[in-house]
Amino acid sequence: MSRNFTSDNVTPASAAVMAAVLAANEGPAPSYGGDVHSARLAALAAQLFETEVAVFPVTTGTAANALALAQLTPGYGTVLCYESAHVATDECGAPEFFMGGGKLTGLPATDGKIRAEQVEAVVALADSMGVHHVKPAALSLTQATEWGTVYALEEVRALSATARRHGLRVHMDGARFANALVHLGCSPAAATWRSGVDVLSLGATKNGALCAEAVVFFDPDLARDFDRRRKRAGHLWSKLRFLSAQLVAYLEDDLWLRNAAQANAMASTLARGLAALPGVRLLQSVDANEVFAALPERCAAALEQAGFGFYRWPGCAVADDETAIRLVTSYETEACDVEALLEAARGADRA
Amino acid sequence: MSRNFTSDNVTPASAAVMAAVLAANEGPAPSYGGDVHSARLAALAAQLFETEVAVFPVTTGTAANALALAQLTPGYGTVLCYESAHVATDECGAPEFFMGGGKLTGLPATDGKIRAEQVEAVVALADSMGVHHVKPAALSLTQATEWGTVYALEEVRALSATARRHGLRVHMDGARFANALVHLGCSPAAATWRSGVDVLSLGATKNGALCAEAVVFFDPDLARDFDRRRKRAGHLWSKLRFLSAQLVAYLEDDLWLRNAAQANAMASTLARGLAALPGVRLLQSVDANEVFAALPERCAAALEQAGFGFYRWPGCAVADDETAIRLVTSYETEACDVEALLEAARGADRA
Amino acid sequence: MSRNFTSDNVTPASAAVMAAVLAANEGPAPSYGGDVHSARLAALAAQLFETEVAVFPVTTGTAANALALAQLTPGYGTVLCYESAHVATDECGAPEFFMGGGKLTGLPATDGKIRAEQVEAVVALADSMGVHHVKPAALSLTQATEWGTVYALEEVRALSATARRHGLRVHMDGARFANALVHLGCSPAAATWRSGVDVLSLGATKNGALCAEAVVFFDPDLARDFDRRRKRAGHLWSKLRFLSAQLVAYLEDDLWLRNAAQANAMASTLARGLAALPGVRLLQSVDANEVFAALPERCAAALEQAGFGFYRWPGCAVADDETAIRLVTSYETEACDVEALLEAARGADRA
Amino acid sequence: MSRNFTSDNVTPASAAVMAAVLAANEGPAPSYGGDVHSARLAALAAQLFETEVAVFPVTTGTAANALALAQLTPGYGTVLCYESAHVATDECGAPEFFMGGGKLTGLPATDGKIRAEQVEAVVALADSMGVHHVKPAALSLTQATEWGTVYALEEVRALSATARRHGLRVHMDGARFANALVHLGCSPAAATWRSGVDVLSLGATKNGALCAEAVVFFDPDLARDFDRRRKRAGHLWSKLRFLSAQLVAYLEDDLWLRNAAQANAMASTLARGLAALPGVRLLQSVDANEVFAALPERCAAALEQAGFGFYRWPGCAVADDETAIRLVTSYETEACDVEALLEAARGADRA
């Protein structure tokens, strides 16, 4: 049983992923991706996404995002994204570094979802300023968002259509892509390239892997020389089999979807339970595995007292007597964990 | 039994390393290095190197080298190294990328070992050219070298003394540091900071890990903000326990030294056996786990025919009727593997 | 007579500056700054700023700003500035490029002047996020601001004291520094280092030069290796005499102050005249040589019709029936030019 | 009369160039290239090169070279050039900086001219190393070379044909392009795009301008977004008229060719005179305006004693009793200057 709701990156690896790593530890194998696991991953990704893809495993979400954005955006370009997107605030400037000094143009959004009109406005401004302004080159959408919400397919389509009209490429930061997919109930293809996404950062670490993410290009031509880009960033493993094997296990037998479904269900239960408490309100729609709630400070303190881990969250519009917190569930979260937290919250309320 | 002498990066992970990864897969753990394995690694490294160190696990040797060199060298600087050093020829420009456009100044060396006089000459030239020339900022020594040789301690000391006199920092690319250490028979401290080394890229992947290297600073002040540098390169794992645990297992109970000793011994046996064959000669001193030999093309072809894996090696000074090859042993190489290869070579000779 | 109020960069060079360039065209002269004009500039700058300075002439304001900020800020750092500062919006990402991927953190300000509390807030947020966030490393103040306002000395001092307390360096973008100085009526020293400024981008092009700006460090130690940084950016002229001579002429005999005084006086007259018209209001305090005004669209159109050049200005809070415009005066603007514009505006009003 | 043979960058500007700058100083003019001089330059360049070109004035040769190479070469790429080319040794890493960490691959050449076979060899090596090696992306030829020699047209054609076959673009560093052109006696078109050159750094500073170079693209499509690249490097002048006017004057009325012809003729006279002296020999063919000679140290010292300026030159293969020197002539050099130097040399010989 776990009282840790701080993040989904505190989880261990899923048993099936760990078993795959162990199984890959057999005798010598060609290095740098010449192994059978990497081949298997390529085939599996093509099958899952129902199209030819170019898939590049890397170690971290920061690497996946920064490499992908650098592939789309020249140094004199800019990436349009939500102003508090992970790429903009939590990666210590990795995208800017990989782009060679490119920029991110942050757009406000109360629910983490930017809108096509905002993209239009930035493009119009840039056009009016000509050479003095960086060139809008790509759009980065986080799916599920940093606020635990999920873009509807029509929202993605509207954004990518606008982007395409102005010559921008579309990147999806899918650190929690499986959680979004489960919420949407659609195919991986529908959630991505069929909705106009050019490149996906496919997260696995938060949802069951040890250290595995992948950059997936839906147009292999767009991946030209990406292998050199990855290499010179120090992100090409010599024993790549250990990375590819994780992703194979993650995608096979629907492990990723089962894990995400559990995390989402637990977040949903948690959200319902919290919302039913007096003085507690949800700050965002709970579409994936994150719950943002405002509650009395007394209640937040009581939960901490009871040993529950979570973050007080800055940047939320709450009343003076409210405390905003973030609770994250994972594939490891069980119904009893949620119930225990709710019980503690109820106790604080009664106290 | 293995006939694969292509590289030590085709090996699986050592059993003890894999066991440590498995053991680390227990329940939730703080992310980004707040875990017990990372703490254990820090303590272990300090103990092994007999001084306070700042140790940063990363995934690849390219990342370790490029990050370390970028910490030492500004964009308008240059790193002096052997002209065919791994950092100069096999990392797709990673050091230059991480340094923000800094340079590498390659120095010729028939045995892979550069000399203090060469450093003096480069510094003198740079001084004479002033602002028009990049500033010599660091020296990078590969230990063991790309030619399987090992710098003697006095050689390292002479180089680092020269470097220090001119304000250059000293980096050691220790992708095969354990192999060098076993050859030198000295302490890790003697091989590094006591001989003037400022930063070590400590390799583990080739010698028993899945994907683990570490940047070790012997002066923690020199590591200032290195954590941010690592983060923005996408090299800070969220589940860092899985990386730190590998390094702990690698360094504990002398696993690294035992593995390297086996690899070195096998290379030594292989070298002796080859040198005894008519028409075969060693091209370099076999100090670590690599054997460079010139042999009749007929013999090289026969070995390939027999299923042995190795590389024909460019850039060696050999006669027209000789073929230069590289054979790499590892901790997995066994006496019977070496004997099988020698037997096949003898057969080719008799044929 | 000129009807061009679009910008102060449409002006020709002052006669004295051009004469100095001509005078420098005598016989051979040492290249790269070994000439007498460059020596004269160094001495003059020290005298004017009443302290030892390191002064580096460059060609453009973008170069001056980007080089200066790169000297203060590592790639994993960020520069705090007004969100629509020139460095943030009009230099096509030059600072980010020169910093090697560093960021700018834009702060809102209705009058272009950021406040110490905003700096405190950014630093506190960064501290709370640790390694995941870029490191606040420098503060950039535009003086005079992009809105034609001027920071009071106490405002500069409060900002620089806050910056210093948190380890940030202070840069001043002085593209229109002379205009600010004339407004403040203080010494160059008081306006800069005595108020906590570490580095000044001293503009001259807009105020009488052909193509001359200078980066001025008030602590020469801070300028370490800056000469190499300038060289590798392609900003070290071989015939530096032609650049230094411009700056000498600019700073000698108070030319810079006389030119700025004329521009400021004309802006002031223009502002008063416009404000007196019905339906016209000033949008910003007119401290330097820029006038931002809201006027009836009919009036704006009439001015254009009459051949006056100026920009309609986006991003101003105006009513639906108002048009925001920017009018810039220069050392070339004469009283009759201003009067002609005002007369045309009055005519439009009467029509 | 001048005794300064140190470099052609110690010269003042040609009278016609200075007159053009003065003439451009008339009233307000559109900034950033909207002026008539910039338009005139574009037309003139197209006419001179007999094709549609995209021409971008910049301030220094370093800027021209670094910007041009960055346009041709991604960060994971490399530029093939002579190992002691100006771009490789005298620009403080500018090309690497502008490319975002790309490399230069230096090729040996006793006369400064690289050969097609060398390009083939580098490409073959890179191909064999795949993703671990930087990608050969461009070839940079210095014309005239750093040793005062000039590539014959068939040499340029052979190199560019090889480059093209392997997907490399061809850049020409024409810091002394006019000198080469005069030597070749061909049209600017024949010397460049008709011989396979994609981009030219057209120098003017050394040959009569104050501070003017230009990047000339012979395929305007290849110049895509180059204007943003220039802007973010701080190399877009606001008062561009003053730069464009220099180049117009330089190219009009054959000033560039007349100036170069004078410089070349003086170098030729100087070379013949020196070669006739006992103990003196020319180290390179004197094709342009540089003379590399080996002479007795006694003679070199006597010339210095007599007040002549020149550089002792490192890296030349000379005997122990010889001193290698470089003498540079310019459009300002007169027959009497050359005669005076020869006379002094003869005197030293007799002494």
Q: Is residue C50 domain-shared with residue C127, that is, in the same domain?
A: yes
Which residues in chain D are closer than 8 Å to C30, comparing Cβ atoms? Answer: 10
Distance CA D68, CA B94 (A): 22
| pLDDT score of B351 | 66
Q: Is residue C133 domain-shared with residue C227, that is, in the same domain?
A: yes
Q: Within a domain: residue A119?
A: yes
- Six-digit token pair at D278? 């006992």
Instruction: Give residue A312's domain range.
Output: 256-350
Chain A interface includes B21 (CB < 8 A): yes
Whether B76 sits inside 8 A of C100 (CB atoms) is: no
Q: Is residue C198 domain-shared with residue C285, that is, in the same domain?
A: no
Query: Which chain B residue has its CA at the smallest distance from C232's CA?
Result: B76
Q: Within a domain: residue B1?
A: no
Q: Is residue C210 domain-shared with residue C145, that is, in the same domain?
A: yes
Whether C90 sits inside 8 A of A129 (CB atoms) is: yes
- What backbone torsions phi and psi does residue C137 show, to the nearest 5 degrees? -125, -25
Where would I find the H helices in A100-171?
116-129, 153-165
Which residue type is seen at B111? D
Q: Is residue A282 domain-shared with residue A170, that is, in the same domain?
A: no
Distance CA A244, CA A213 (A): 9
Q: Do the strands C199-203 and C169-174 form a parallel or antiparallel pair, or are they unpaired?
A: parallel
Q: Within a domain: residue A3?
A: no
Where would I find the H helices in chain A?
15-24, 36-49, 61-72, 86-89, 94-99, 116-129, 153-165, 177-184, 188-191, 226-232, 241-251, 255-275, 297-305, 335-350
CATH code of the domain containing D295: 3.90.1150.10
Choose the final residue of a domain: A232, A253, A274: A253
- Six-digit token pair at D78? 């490399």
Asked whether residue A154 carries a pLDDT value surpassing 90, the answer given is yes
Decide if D286 contacts D336 (C-beta within 8 A).
no
| pLDDT score of B114 | 98
- Six-digit token pair at D46? 């197209």
Render the burial of D197-209: b for 16+ CB within 10 Å, e for the rest.
bbbbbbbbbbbbb
Query: Which chain A residue has its CA at the smallest distance from C88's CA?
Result: A133
Mark residue C347 as left, alpha or beta (left: phi above 0; alpha: psi -120 to 50; beta: remaining). Answer: alpha
Query: Which chain B residue has its CA at the smallest distance from A87's CA?
Result: B232
Which residues in chain B are closer than 8 Å to A11, comparing Cβ atoms? Answer: 28, 239
Which residues in chain A are closer than 8 Å to B4, comparing Cβ atoms? Answer: 28
Chain C interface includes A131 (CB < 8 A): yes
Which residues in chain B are closer than 8 Å to A228, comparing Cβ atoms? Answer: 92
Distance CA D58, CA D237 (A): 8
Chain C interface includes B238 (CB < 8 A): no
Residue C301 CB neighbour total at 10 angstroms: 12
Whether C131 sits inside 8 A of B32 (CB atoms) is: yes
- Is the previous residue joined to D144 through a cis bond, with omega within 30 degrees of 0? yes
Q: Which of A7, A63, A231 sits opposite B234 (nearest CB)?
A: A63
Whether B131 sits inside 8 A of C231 (CB atoms) is: yes
- A168 pLDDT band, cuts 50/70/90, is very high
How many domains does chain D contain in total? 2
The angle that helices B255-275 and B335-350 make with each other, rounded to 10 degrees, is: 10
Choose the final residue of a domain: D253, D276, D311: D253
- What backbone torsions phi and psi does residue A263 show, to the nearest 5 degrees? -60, -45
Partner chains of B (3+ C-beta pairs under 8 Å): A, C, D
Q: Is residue A47 domain-shared with residue A135, that is, in the same domain?
A: yes
Decide if C105 contacts C161 (C-beta within 8 A).
no
Q: Give C27→chain A minimum CA distance, Å.
A: 38
Decide if A109 contacts A115 (C-beta within 8 A).
yes
Q: Within a domain: residue D85?
A: yes
Mean pLDDT of A92-120: 98
- Six-digit token pair at B132? 């028009």
Which residues in chain C are closer than 8 Å to D228, comparing Cβ atoms? Answer: 92
Q: Within a domain: residue A263?
A: yes
* CA-wise closest residue to C85 among C63, C102, C107: C107
Whether C58 sits inside 8 A of D234 (CB atoms) is: yes
CA distances (Å), B259 to each of B8, B14, B266, in order? 11, 9, 11
Which residue type is seen at C136? P
| pLDDT score of C315 | 81
| pLDDT score of A95 | 98
pLDDT along chain B (351 residues), means of 10: 92 97 96 97 98 98 98 98 97 98 97 98 95 97 98 98 98 98 98 98 98 97 98 98 98 98 98 96 98 96 96 90 96 97 89 66
Which residues in chain B are closer than 8 Å to C131, comparing Cβ atoms? Answer: 32, 227-228, 231, 236
* CA-wise closest residue to C254 among C16, C11, C54: C16
- Six-digit token pair at A50? 């129902």
- Return the sign of the alpha-carbon dihedral for residues B204, B209, B214, B218: negative
What Rg value do the Cα atoms of chain A yield, rounded?
Answer: 21
Whether C233 sits inside 8 A of D18 (CB atoms) is: no
CATH code of the domain containing B172: 3.40.640.10
Tens digits of per-residue pLDDT, A53-79? 999 999 999 999 999 999 999 999 999
Sheet with B103-107: strands ordered across: B54-58, B213-217, B199-203, B169-174, B135-142, B77-82, B103-107
Q: Is residue A167 domain-shared with residue A136, that is, in the same domain?
A: yes
CA distances (Å), B60 to each of B143, B205, B213, in order? 17, 8, 6
Whether A232 sits inside 8 A of D100 (CB atoms) is: no
Among B31, B69, B73, B76, the residue to mutate for chain C (most C Cβ within 10 A): B76
Distance CA A174, CA A185 (A): 16
Per-residue pLDDT tens, chain C, 351 aa: give them: 789 999 999 999 999 999 999 999 999 999 999 999 999 999 999 999 999 999 999 999 999 999 999 999 999 999 999 999 999 999 999 999 999 999 999 999 999 999 999 999 999 999 999 999 999 999 999 999 999 999 999 999 999 999 999 999 999 999 999 999 999 999 999 999 999 999 999 999 999 999 999 999 999 999 999 999 999 999 999 999 999 999 999 999 999 999 999 999 999 999 999 999 999 999 999 999 999 999 999 999 999 999 999 999 988 889 998 999 999 999 999 999 999 999 999 998 776
Choose the final residue of a domain: B207, B230, B253: B253
Q: Is residue C215 domain-shared with residue C264, that is, in the same domain?
A: no
Q: Within a domain: residue D226?
A: yes
Q: Is residue B191 domain-shared with residue B218, that is, in the same domain?
A: yes
- What backbone torsions phi and psi does residue B68 show, to the nearest 5 degrees? -65, -45
Query: Which chain B residue has its CA at the smallest distance from D314's CA?
Result: B125
| pLDDT score of D351 | 66
Query: Which chain A residue has its CA at the smallest distance from B226's CA?
Result: A92
pTM of the entire predicted model: 0.97
DSSP at D134: P
| pLDDT score of C1 | 75
Q: Is residue C243 domain-shared with residue C265, that is, in the same domain?
A: no
Which residues in chain C are closer than 8 Å to A131, comparing Cβ atoms? Answer: 92
Q: Within a domain: residue C98?
A: yes
Query: Which chain D residue has its CA at the smallest distance from B78's CA?
Result: D93
Question: How many pairs of residues across A and B have Cβ atoms under 8 Å apart?
Answer: 157
Q: Residue D343 is inside which H or E element, if any?
A: helix D335-350
Residue keyed to tokens 């070995």 = B303
Percent of chain D whose predicted confidence (pLDDT) is above 90 = 96
Q: Is residue B79 domain-shared with residue B136, that is, in the same domain?
A: yes
Q: Is residue B166 domain-shared with residue B287, that is, in the same domain?
A: no
Whether D227 sits inside 8 A of A131 (CB atoms) is: yes
Query: Which chain A residue has its CA at the smallest distance from D101's CA?
Result: A100
Q: Within a domain: residue C343?
A: yes
| pLDDT score of A243 | 98
Q: Residue B162 is inside which H or E element, if any?
A: helix B153-165
| pLDDT score of D314 | 84
- What backbone torsions phi and psi does residue C309 show, to the nearest 5 degrees? -100, 130
